[in-house]
Amino acid sequence: MPIKTFRRAALLFVLCSGACLTAAIAGEPGKAVRTEKGMTLVVPAEHASLGRVYYVLPGKDAQVTFDSDAPLEHIKGISNKVVGYAAGPAAPAAGAAPVVRGQFNLPVNTLDTGIPMRNEHLQSDQWMDAKSFGDVIFTLNDVADAKVAKQDAGFTTYEATLVGVMTIKGVSKDVRVPARIVVMPETEKTKVRAPGDLLAIRSSFAVKMSDYGVAKGNPGMDSGKVADDLKLDVSLFLSTVSPETPPKK
Protein backbone atom coordinates (compact mmCIF):
# COMPACT_ATOMS: atom_id res chain seq x y z
CA MET A 1 0.00 0.00 0.00
CA PRO A 2 1.42 3.45 -0.90
CA ILE A 3 2.50 5.52 2.11
CA LYS A 4 -0.05 8.30 1.40
CA THR A 5 -2.89 5.79 1.13
CA PHE A 6 -1.78 4.09 4.35
CA ARG A 7 -1.67 7.42 6.20
CA ARG A 8 -5.11 8.35 4.91
CA ALA A 9 -6.53 5.00 6.05
CA ALA A 10 -4.88 5.37 9.46
CA LEU A 11 -6.37 8.85 9.86
CA LEU A 12 -9.84 7.57 8.97
CA PHE A 13 -9.45 4.76 11.49
CA VAL A 14 -8.50 7.19 14.25
CA LEU A 15 -11.42 9.49 13.42
CA CYS A 16 -13.84 6.59 13.33
CA SER A 17 -12.49 5.25 16.62
CA GLY A 18 -12.93 8.67 18.21
CA ALA A 19 -16.50 8.93 16.95
CA CYS A 20 -17.31 5.45 18.23
CA LEU A 21 -15.80 6.28 21.61
CA THR A 22 -17.83 9.50 21.78
CA ALA A 23 -21.01 7.57 21.00
CA ALA A 24 -20.21 5.05 23.71
CA ILE A 25 -19.66 7.80 26.26
CA ALA A 26 -22.85 9.55 25.20
CA GLY A 27 -24.90 6.40 25.86
CA GLU A 28 -27.20 4.11 23.95
CA PRO A 29 -28.83 5.42 20.76
CA GLY A 30 -32.19 6.98 21.55
CA LYS A 31 -31.35 7.48 25.22
CA ALA A 32 -30.86 10.92 26.76
CA VAL A 33 -27.52 11.31 28.53
CA ARG A 34 -26.50 13.15 31.68
CA THR A 35 -25.40 16.74 31.58
CA GLU A 36 -21.81 17.57 32.44
CA LYS A 37 -22.77 18.31 36.05
CA GLY A 38 -24.81 15.11 36.14
CA MET A 39 -27.81 16.55 38.01
CA THR A 40 -30.21 16.03 35.11
CA LEU A 41 -30.38 14.76 31.52
CA VAL A 42 -29.81 16.55 28.24
CA VAL A 43 -33.32 16.98 26.84
CA PRO A 44 -33.56 16.02 23.15
CA ALA A 45 -34.58 18.94 20.92
CA GLU A 46 -37.71 17.13 19.71
CA HIS A 47 -38.92 16.84 23.32
CA ALA A 48 -37.95 20.39 24.31
CA SER A 49 -39.89 21.66 21.27
CA LEU A 50 -43.13 20.27 22.72
CA GLY A 51 -43.33 23.45 24.76
CA ARG A 52 -42.60 22.71 28.41
CA VAL A 53 -40.00 20.61 30.21
CA TYR A 54 -40.12 19.52 33.84
CA TYR A 55 -36.87 18.33 35.47
CA VAL A 56 -36.69 15.78 38.27
CA LEU A 57 -35.65 17.49 41.49
CA PRO A 58 -33.04 15.91 43.76
CA GLY A 59 -34.82 13.76 46.28
CA LYS A 60 -34.78 14.42 50.00
CA ASP A 61 -37.18 11.55 50.60
CA ALA A 62 -37.27 8.19 48.83
CA GLN A 63 -38.05 8.61 45.13
CA VAL A 64 -38.16 4.88 44.45
CA THR A 65 -38.96 2.14 46.96
CA PHE A 66 -38.78 -1.53 46.04
CA ASP A 67 -40.19 -4.45 48.00
CA SER A 68 -39.13 -8.10 47.64
CA ASP A 69 -41.51 -10.29 49.63
CA ALA A 70 -40.09 -13.81 49.31
CA PRO A 71 -41.05 -16.83 51.48
CA LEU A 72 -37.86 -16.72 53.56
CA GLU A 73 -36.96 -13.03 53.51
CA HIS A 74 -38.62 -9.64 53.14
CA ILE A 75 -36.30 -7.06 51.60
CA LYS A 76 -36.99 -3.36 51.13
CA GLY A 77 -34.80 -0.82 49.39
CA ILE A 78 -34.84 2.83 48.44
CA SER A 79 -33.13 5.41 46.24
CA ASN A 80 -33.42 9.18 46.10
CA LYS A 81 -30.98 9.74 43.23
CA VAL A 82 -33.27 9.58 40.17
CA VAL A 83 -32.43 12.04 37.39
CA GLY A 84 -34.58 12.82 34.38
CA TYR A 85 -37.26 14.95 32.79
CA ALA A 86 -40.79 14.93 31.40
CA ALA A 87 -41.99 17.10 28.52
CA GLY A 88 -45.35 18.15 27.14
CA PRO A 89 -47.29 21.04 25.62
CA ALA A 90 -47.08 24.42 27.35
CA ALA A 91 -50.88 24.68 27.15
CA PRO A 92 -52.36 21.16 26.96
CA ALA A 93 -55.92 20.77 25.75
CA ALA A 94 -58.61 20.43 28.39
CA GLY A 95 -58.27 17.06 30.06
CA ALA A 96 -55.15 16.14 28.07
CA ALA A 97 -52.02 14.89 29.81
CA PRO A 98 -49.57 17.63 30.79
CA VAL A 99 -46.56 15.52 29.77
CA VAL A 100 -46.16 12.92 27.03
CA ARG A 101 -42.42 12.26 26.66
CA GLY A 102 -39.51 11.84 29.04
CA GLN A 103 -36.81 9.70 30.55
CA PHE A 104 -35.93 8.74 34.10
CA ASN A 105 -32.63 7.17 35.16
CA LEU A 106 -32.20 5.32 38.45
CA PRO A 107 -28.51 4.66 39.27
CA VAL A 108 -28.20 1.05 40.41
CA ASN A 109 -25.41 1.86 42.87
CA THR A 110 -27.77 4.17 44.80
CA LEU A 111 -30.19 1.39 45.77
CA ASP A 112 -29.97 0.95 49.53
CA THR A 113 -31.40 -2.05 51.37
CA GLY A 114 -30.05 -0.95 54.74
CA ILE A 115 -27.34 -3.65 54.77
CA PRO A 116 -24.02 -2.80 53.01
CA MET A 117 -23.18 -6.43 52.18
CA ARG A 118 -26.60 -6.96 50.64
CA ASN A 119 -26.17 -3.76 48.62
CA GLU A 120 -22.93 -5.21 47.21
CA HIS A 121 -24.72 -8.41 46.24
CA LEU A 122 -27.50 -6.40 44.58
CA GLN A 123 -24.95 -4.49 42.49
CA SER A 124 -22.93 -7.57 41.54
CA ASP A 125 -22.94 -9.11 38.05
CA GLN A 126 -25.15 -11.97 39.32
CA TRP A 127 -27.88 -9.46 40.04
CA MET A 128 -28.09 -5.92 38.65
CA ASP A 129 -24.49 -5.69 37.35
CA ALA A 130 -24.03 -2.02 38.21
CA LYS A 131 -20.61 -1.87 36.53
CA SER A 132 -21.92 -2.86 33.10
CA PHE A 133 -25.43 -1.41 33.36
CA GLY A 134 -25.25 1.65 35.59
CA ASP A 135 -28.88 2.78 35.33
CA VAL A 136 -32.37 1.39 35.33
CA ILE A 137 -34.04 3.52 32.65
CA PHE A 138 -37.69 4.27 32.02
CA THR A 139 -38.36 6.00 28.70
CA LEU A 140 -41.76 7.69 28.52
CA ASN A 141 -43.19 7.47 25.00
CA ASP A 142 -46.80 8.45 25.63
CA VAL A 143 -49.46 8.98 28.29
CA ALA A 144 -52.76 7.20 27.71
CA ASP A 145 -56.21 7.29 29.30
CA ALA A 146 -55.53 10.66 30.96
CA LYS A 147 -58.46 12.16 32.84
CA VAL A 148 -58.79 14.91 35.40
CA ALA A 149 -59.51 13.34 38.77
CA LYS A 150 -59.42 16.44 40.95
CA GLN A 151 -58.93 20.20 40.83
CA ASP A 152 -58.22 22.10 44.00
CA ALA A 153 -56.54 25.44 44.81
CA GLY A 154 -54.91 25.65 41.40
CA PHE A 155 -53.63 22.06 41.50
CA THR A 156 -54.86 19.61 38.88
CA THR A 157 -54.63 15.87 39.45
CA TYR A 158 -54.72 13.43 36.53
CA GLU A 159 -55.16 9.66 36.55
CA ALA A 160 -53.32 8.19 33.59
CA THR A 161 -51.28 5.31 32.16
CA LEU A 162 -47.60 5.83 31.43
CA VAL A 163 -46.63 4.08 28.20
CA GLY A 164 -42.96 3.45 27.67
CA VAL A 165 -39.95 1.18 27.79
CA MET A 166 -38.27 -0.16 30.91
CA THR A 167 -34.58 -1.05 30.54
CA ILE A 168 -32.97 -3.15 33.25
CA LYS A 169 -29.58 -4.80 32.91
CA GLY A 170 -29.54 -3.95 29.20
CA VAL A 171 -32.89 -5.65 28.49
CA SER A 172 -35.75 -3.41 27.29
CA LYS A 173 -39.44 -4.23 27.63
CA ASP A 174 -42.57 -2.29 26.68
CA VAL A 175 -44.55 -1.38 29.78
CA ARG A 176 -47.77 0.37 30.74
CA VAL A 177 -48.03 1.53 34.34
CA PRO A 178 -50.77 3.41 36.19
CA ALA A 179 -49.87 6.83 37.52
CA ARG A 180 -51.18 9.91 39.23
CA ILE A 181 -49.85 13.21 37.85
CA VAL A 182 -50.32 16.46 39.74
CA VAL A 183 -49.69 19.85 38.10
CA MET A 184 -48.89 22.73 40.44
CA PRO A 185 -48.42 26.22 38.94
CA GLU A 186 -45.91 28.33 40.82
CA THR A 187 -47.25 30.17 43.86
CA GLU A 188 -45.76 31.52 47.05
CA LYS A 189 -46.65 28.20 48.68
CA THR A 190 -45.04 26.01 46.00
CA LYS A 191 -41.87 28.13 46.01
CA VAL A 192 -41.24 26.89 49.53
CA ARG A 193 -40.65 23.47 47.96
CA ALA A 194 -38.91 24.62 44.77
CA PRO A 195 -39.02 27.44 42.20
CA GLY A 196 -40.96 27.07 38.96
CA ASP A 197 -44.14 25.25 38.03
CA LEU A 198 -44.12 21.85 39.70
CA LEU A 199 -45.22 18.39 38.65
CA ALA A 200 -45.56 15.29 40.81
CA ILE A 201 -45.64 11.74 39.47
CA ARG A 202 -46.78 8.84 41.65
CA SER A 203 -46.90 5.25 40.48
CA SER A 204 -47.03 1.74 41.94
CA PHE A 205 -46.44 -1.36 39.85
CA ALA A 206 -44.63 -4.72 39.78
CA VAL A 207 -41.60 -5.80 37.76
CA LYS A 208 -40.74 -9.44 37.09
CA MET A 209 -36.96 -9.52 37.41
CA SER A 210 -36.46 -12.74 35.42
CA ASP A 211 -37.99 -10.96 32.39
CA TYR A 212 -34.88 -8.79 32.42
CA GLY A 213 -32.37 -11.55 33.01
CA VAL A 214 -31.92 -10.61 36.65
CA ALA A 215 -31.43 -13.35 39.25
CA LYS A 216 -32.48 -16.10 36.87
CA GLY A 217 -31.08 -19.29 38.37
CA ASN A 218 -29.53 -17.30 41.21
CA PRO A 219 -29.20 -19.20 44.53
CA GLY A 220 -30.82 -16.30 46.39
CA MET A 221 -33.98 -16.60 44.34
CA ASP A 222 -33.93 -20.39 44.18
CA SER A 223 -33.64 -20.60 47.98
CA GLY A 224 -36.74 -18.47 48.46
CA LYS A 225 -34.93 -15.42 49.84
CA VAL A 226 -35.59 -13.11 46.88
CA ALA A 227 -38.89 -12.63 45.05
CA ASP A 228 -39.06 -12.64 41.26
CA ASP A 229 -41.81 -10.02 41.37
CA LEU A 230 -40.61 -6.74 42.83
CA LYS A 231 -43.14 -4.13 43.88
CA LEU A 232 -42.08 -0.58 43.04
CA ASP A 233 -43.41 2.67 44.45
CA VAL A 234 -42.29 5.80 42.60
CA SER A 235 -42.68 9.34 43.91
CA LEU A 236 -41.04 12.08 41.85
CA PHE A 237 -41.15 15.87 42.09
CA LEU A 238 -40.27 17.86 38.98
CA SER A 239 -39.93 21.55 38.22
CA THR A 240 -39.71 23.73 35.13
CA VAL A 241 -36.52 25.10 36.71
CA SER A 242 -33.57 22.75 36.18
CA PRO A 243 -31.75 21.61 39.35
CA GLU A 244 -28.61 22.97 37.69
CA THR A 245 -29.99 26.51 37.46
CA PRO A 246 -28.20 28.76 39.98
CA PRO A 247 -30.57 30.03 42.71
CA LYS A 248 -31.72 33.62 42.44
CA LYS A 249 -29.97 35.98 44.83
41-81: per-residue pLDDT in tens? 999 999 999 999 999 998 878 999 999 998 888 999 999 99
Q: What is the pLDDT of residue 7?
A: 47
Return d(Cα 206, Cα 141) in angstroms, integer.
19
Q: What is the pLDDT of residue 89?
A: 96
Q: What is the pLDDT of residue 219?
A: 58
Q: What is the pLDDT of residue 46?
A: 96
The low-confidence residues of the chain, meaning pLDDT below 70, are 1-30, 215-223
Q: What is the pLDDT of residue 126?
A: 82
Q: What is the pLDDT of residue 102?
A: 98
Q: What is the pLDDT of residue 95?
A: 81
